[in-house]
Each structure stands twice: as C-alpha cells, then as structure tokens.
Amino acid sequence: MKHPKPSPVTKFARIEAIAPLLKAIQTVGGAVAASLTADLAAYEACLNQHKQRGNLMGPSAFGELWTRHFNDAIGLRVLRPHGHHWLDLGSGAGIPGIVLAASLKGVPNTRLDLVEAQARKADFLREVAARLGLSVNVHRIRIENLTPVDLPGNLTITARALAPMPRLWQLIKPMLASGKASALVIKGQNWRNELDAQTREEARITEENVEGVNARYLSIRWR
C-alpha cells in the first residue's frame, strides 16, 4: 500500500536522529529492520494527516517526534534487544508500540500486542499497521479486563505516559504475578516522586538508562 507523503523533515535529519540507538541495538546483537527510517517517516505522515480529524498527540510532540519520542521507543530495544513478544499498554497514538513493531519488521518469531481502549485510537493503530505492513495485534479493551490466562510466556510489558506509578503498578501487577511477564516501562526523570507506600513495598523497581535518551526505563518486578 502506498505510504502517505512524509513531512518536510529531511531524510538525513531522520537518520541522524535515530542512528546512535540503532547502532547500540546492533552492538548488543539485536536485529533492526532495514526499512525502519522509511516506516517511521510514513508513520509521522499518518500522524500529521490525523491532525485534520482530531489530534492524537499534543501539538508540541510533533516537533520532537524523532529526537525524543521515537528515541524513547527505540531505547527499549537497546535494553531488550532479543525481546520477541511485547505488550504495549495504553498504546494511544502508537508510541512505543508502532515504533517497536517497525524496528522488528521482518525479524522472525516476534509478536507485538497493542492494547488501547479508545475506538478512535485503536482504529488509527490498525490503519498505521496496515499502511506500513506491520505485524501487530490491536486489542480494543481496557487494561483492567486483561487476564493472566490471555498472556503468553516470555512477555515484556511496556507503557509510556500511561499513569502515575501507583496506578501503573495496580494495572501490571496481576500480569507480573502470573510469572509469564516482566515489565520495562518508560517514565520521566522524576518518577520516584510518584511512588506511594504500597508501590514501594510491593514493587522491585530498577532504573535503566540509555545513553543519549532523557527518558528513564524502569524494570518492574514483584519484591
């Protein structure tokens, strides 16, 4: 299917924005789709098209798509280069889920499941996946309605800008309790300020960082 016309950002600028992280993934033995830059440019164009039908992202996000938002998502692959099954909770406009799917395009034995409750956003995710030829499963369902029996083994749960830490912990801990999943979520630098007593007591949280990325990646497990 023909990709929508990309925005005027140059091809060189796109490559320059994500090149260090792609090199980091390959350095640790991970595979990266050769079509990633072109697919992300097409994804950017899809986001811009949807401005006319109701914005899926805040206006300021468009100026930082490549230097911040796409890099946040690609950073997950730096830390988990061999993760073959990802579950993105509250996928929204598709970051990190669509970016992860684009980076894994053509990589064998991979699976991406995107969970989004809002119909408009779920429809957008399906549209982008079809246009880019991405192998993803979009589930229009509330996170609370997922049950451990729905989950395969060796699953990595991720989320970005989904909820404050106490709420996020309540959403993911039934999945972690199943023993089938681990979590690697994207948060801001001040995530510790969000913790409440229960989350501190129950969750074992390890901060992981990626050079050149300002986001914080939290590996979360039961204590």
Q: How far is it, in rounded angstroms, from Cα 14 to Cα 31? A: 19
Would you say residue 8 has pLDDT above 70?
no
pLDDT at 56: 81
Q: How far is it, in rounded angstroms, from Cα 172 to Cα 146? A: 10
Which residue in 143, 151, 190, 147 sits closest to 169, CA to CA?
Answer: 143
Percent of the chain with pLDDT over 70: 91
Would you say residue 1 has pLDDT above 60?
no
pLDDT at 115: 95
| Domains in the chain: ranges and CATH | 11-222 (3.40.50.150)
pLDDT at 154: 78
Average pLDDT, the chain: 88
pLDDT at 11: 67
pLDDT digits (tens, 9 = 90+) for 167-187: 999 999 988 987 778 999 999
Instruction: Tell which wins on pLDDT, 126 or 33.
Output: 126
Give 220's pLDDT tier (boundaries 50, 70, 90): very high
pLDDT at 119: 93
pTM over 0.85: yes
CA distances from 27 to 36, 37, 66, 217 (A): 17, 18, 21, 19
Q: Interior CA angle at 65 toward 60 and 66, to 5°?
A: 145
Which residue in 184, 192, 190 sits closest to 160, CA to CA?
Answer: 184
Give 60's pLDDT tier (boundaries 50, 70, 90): confident
Give 52's pLDDT tier (boundaries 50, 70, 90): low
pLDDT digits (tens, 9 = 90+) for 128-182: 999 999 999 999 999 999 876 566 677 899 999 899 999 999 999 988 987 778 9
